[in-house]
Structure 1
Amino acid sequence: MMPRALPVRALALGALVVPLLAACAPTIGATPAEDAANPACAPVMLALPETLAGDLPQRDTNAQATTAWGDPGAAVTLRCGVAPPGPSPDCQRVDSGTGAVDWIVEAGDDGTWRFTTYGREPAVEVLVPPSVTEDHSTSFVGDLAQAVGNVPATAECS
Structure 2
Amino acid sequence: MKFFRHRRPLVIGPPALAALIGVAGCSSSDDSAVTAVPSPGAEVTKVCQNLDKALPREVAGLERRDPEPPSALTAGWGNPAIILRCGVVRPPMMTDPKAVAGGVNGVDWLQEAADDGAFRFTTANRVAYVEVTVAEGSDSSGALVDLAPAVKQAIPAGIAD
- The TM-score range, normalised by the shorter chain, is 0.5 to 0.7
Letter in 2 for 1:153: A
Q: Matched residues in 1 for 2:116 and 2:41: separation?
A: 26
Q: Distance in 2 between matches of 1:25 and 1:51?
A: 19
Residue 41 of structure 1, aligned match among 27, 44, 48: 48
2:34 to 25, 29, 32: 29
For residues 116 and 66 of structure 2, what CA distance do their matches in structure 1 show? 25
Structure 2: distance between partners of 1:66 and 1:84 = 16
* Aligned residues between the structures: 122
In structure 1, the residue corresponding to 2:64 is in which secondary structure? Answer: strand
What do residues 101-140 of structure 1 show as CA deviations (whole Å, max 9, x unaligned)?
000011112211000001112110001111xx2xx43112
Q: How far did residue 49 of structure 1 move?
A: 0.9
Distance 2:145 2:35 in 1: 22
Q: For residues 122 and 76 of structure 1, do their structure 2 counterparts lie closer, same or farther at Cα, with a shift above 3 Å needed?
A: same
State the structure with more CA Rg.
2
User: 1:152 and 2:156 equivalent?
Assistant: yes
| Paired amino acid for 2:119 | W
Percent identity of equivalent pairs: 38
Evaluate the alpha carbon distance shift between residue 87 and residue 142 of structure 1 in structure 2; reply closer, same or farther with a 3 A threshold: farther
1:7 corresponding residue in structure 2: none
Deviation, 1:84, is 3.1
The alignment status of 1:138 with 2:157, answered yes or no, reads: no
Q: Which residue number in structure 1 is paired with residue 123 of structure 2?
A: 117
Structure 2 stretches of 5 or more lacking a match?
A: 1-28
CA-atom RMSD in angstroms:
2.3
Amino acid corresponding to residue 31 of structure 1 in structure 2? A
User: Which one is further off, 58-67 or 34-43?
Assistant: 34-43
Q: How does 1:47-62 map to 2 (within 5 A)?
A: 47-54=54-61, 56-61=62-67, 62=69
Calculate the TM-score normalised by the size of structure 2.
0.67
Q: Give the C-alpha shift of residue 32 in structure 1.
A: 0.5
Greater share of strand: 1
CA displacement at 1:31 relative to structure 2:
0.8
Normalised by the size of structure 1, how large is the TM-score?
Answer: 0.68
Structure 1 residue 90 displacement after superposition: 1.4
Distance in 1, matches of 2:84 and 2:119, equals 12
SS where residue 110 of structure 1 aligns? Answer: coil
Question: Following the alignment from structure 1 to structure 2, what is the Cα–Cα distance between the partners of residues 80 and 153?
Answer: 15
